Amino acid sequence: MIAIPQEAGTPHGNKDTASANAMNLAPVVASLECVSKNYGEVHALRNVNFSVRAGQVVALLGPNGAGKTTAVKLLLGLMQPTSGKARVFGGDPVNPQNRIRAGAMLQVGRVPETLRVREHIDLFSSYYPKPLLLAEVLAAAGLEKLADRKFGELSGGQRQRTLFALAICGDPDLLFLDEPTVGLDVEARRMLWEEIRRLVDRGKTVLLTTHYLQEADALADRIAVINQGAIIAEGTPTEIKAQTSGKRIRCITALSMASLRQIPGVTAAREDREAVEIHAAEAEPVIRKLLSLDSTLSGLEVTSAGLEEAFLALTQDNGQNASRLKEN
C-alpha cells in the first residue's frame, strides 16, 4: 500500500504513529484550497482547506446540508468554486486525464430504469482504459445474482450497490463516495465497508461523505467534521471521538502542563498563548481541583467542546431519518 516500510520502523514506536507519519508523507491526490462556494445568498462552503493523501480513506462527516456534497462535486469538477481552487492529481478536476483516474458514486434521483445491471456496468466500463472484468465488479458490489435485473426492478439497497459498481468498474485510483450507505441495511452496509477496505488495501484512495460517526470511525484514516460549510475539526477517528463530548476549560494558571494532565478527568491539555486549554469530560471536578492547586488562577472560561453542536445536529438528523422511515 504505502511505499514507506512501516514494519521496519522504530522498534518501540507505536505502529499507529508510524502509519500516520507515512500517511502524512504520501502525496496529496485531491484538495480544496481556500474554497468558498455560494449558491446565491447561501454559503455552502466557507474558506475550506482540505486534502486527501494517496492510500487514505478520508471521511467528510457532517449533517445534511453541511456542504459535504458540494465539496465532492467541486472535486469532481461538476461545479466551480466561487473562490479558491479544487485540485485532483495536482490539476483541474475537469481535465479528462484526471477523470479517467477517478470514480464517483453520487446521490441521484433517477437512473435509467430499463437497462439491466450488467448493461449499466458495461457502458461505464467502456469509458475507462483498463476496466475491471464484469465478474469482478459484480462480485465486489454483491450483484452476482442481479446482473440481468433491470435497474427499475431493484430495491433501494440494490440500486445503491449498482451505483457503487459504476464507481469502481473503471478501477480508478481515486474514489468519491457520497453517502454510499444511505438506504442500506446493516448487512449490506458491512459488506460495502469490507469492499472499501479491500480497495484501500489495493492502494486506492477514498473520499467518502457520511452523517454516521460510526461509519467514519469504522473506515476512515482521517475524519473531517463539516458543519454549516466550514470544517470544524479534523483528525484521526480517535481524536475526533475524544472531542465529541465534554467541556473545554480555559484559564491562566501557574501550573505546569504535566501537572494539569495528571488531574483526574482531564483528557487533554495544551498551551494557548498566555493561557491553557484543558479538555475534560466534566468541568466541575476539574475546576474544583484547579482552584485548590492554584490560588492565582484567573481568566476562567468554560465552554462546550467544539464538536458538540455539530454532533447534536447529526443526532437530530439521524432521528429525523428514523422517524421518516417509520412513516413510510
E strand or H helix at 270, and its extent? strand 266-272
Nearer to another protein, 200 or 268 (CB): 200
> Could you give the angle at which helices 134-141 and 186-201 cross, rounded to 10 degrees?
130
Chain centre to alpha carbon of residue 128? 26
Residue from 9, 65, 77, 265 that binds another protein (CB under 8 A)?
77
Residue with cell 485532483: 88
Q: Which of residues 204-233 bind another protein (CB under 8 A)?
A: 205
Residue from 173, 179, 215, 221 that binds another protein (CB under 8 A)?
173
Residue from 54, 146, 208, 213 that binds another protein (CB under 8 A)?
54
Q: What does the DSSP 8-state code read for residue 293?
A: H
> Taking CB under 8 A as the rule, does residue 89 contact another protein?
yes
Residue from 119, 234, 277, 294 that binds another protein (CB under 8 A)?
119
Residue from 34, 42, 123, 133 that binds another protein (CB under 8 A)?
123
**Residue 220 to residue 30: CA distance in whole angstroms:** 16
> Taking CB under 8 A as the rule, does residue 33 contact another protein?
no
E strand or H helix at 316, and its extent? helix 308-327
> Could you give the angle at which helices 186-201 and 156-168 cross, rounded to 10 degrees?
10
Cα 250 to Cα 146, 241, 295, distances in angstroms: 58, 20, 15
Report, in Å, the least distance between residue 308 CB and another protein.
33
Report, in Å, the least distance between residue 77 CB and another protein.
8
> Taking CB under 8 A as the rule, does residue 107 contact another protein?
yes
Nearer to another protein, 25 or 254 (CB): 25
Question: Listing from the earlier edge strand, what are the strands of the sheet with 247-252?
Answer: 266-272, 275-280, 247-252, 298-304
> Taking CB under 8 A as the rule, does residue 328 contact another protein?
no
Binding piece for another protein, criterion CB under 8 A, among 59-67, 114-122, 185-193, 313-321: 114-122
> Taking CB under 8 A as the rule, does residue 115 contact another protein?
yes
E strand or H helix at 322, and its extent? helix 308-327
Nearer to another protein, 76 or 233 (CB): 76
316 Cβ contact list (under 8 Å, min separation 6): 63
Positions in the binding site for another protein (CB under 8 A): 1-3, 25-27, 29, 54-55, 73, 76-80, 82, 89-90, 96-97, 99-104, 106-112, 114-115, 119, 122-124, 126-129, 150, 163, 166, 170, 173, 176, 203, 205
